[in-house]
Amino acid sequence: MSTNYILDVSEGLITLVIYDITEDDVRLRVARFLRAKGLTRIQKSAFIGSLTVSARKDVENGVSKLIYGKKANVQIYPLTPASYSQRVVLGVELRYDDQDRLIA
């Protein structure tokens, strides 16, 4: 099953951010930060969006500051439109509102 998240790649490369963060407050701050940078939550610990090189560097620096000294692992992947279009999505699509609540 394929799910289409609409991404405008005219401004930059697709950027996937995934994370494991043990502390709830840090995890919430990171999620809010990523949303504020224009990324869309696609799973509990995954955000995606189109970012310029400069914006992606801002995300790297901002997240780095938020998790400094914390038990956290954040990974940032630049994706080409070709690689993104070849992804496989299994199961049901989960949608989140602007408060990061799961929409039934």
Q: Which of the pair, 58 or 96, is modelled with greater confidence?
A: 58
Classify burial at 88, counting beta carbons within 10 Å of its beta carbon; exposed 0-12, middle 13-18, buried 19 or more: exposed
Domain around 21: 13-103
Classify burial at 33, counting beta carbons within 10 Å of its beta carbon; exposed 0-12, middle 13-18, buried 19 or more: middle
Query: Is 76 a domain residue?
Result: yes
Is 9 a residue whose pLDDT tops 60? no
- What pLDDT, on a 0 to 100 scale, did the predictor assign at position 72? 97
Number of domains into which the chain is organized: 1
pTM of the shown model:
0.85
Query: Is 94 a domain residue?
Result: yes
Query: Is 2 a domain residue?
Result: no
Is 1 a residue whose pLDDT tops 50? no
Q: Which domain CATH number covers 56?
A: 3.30.70.240
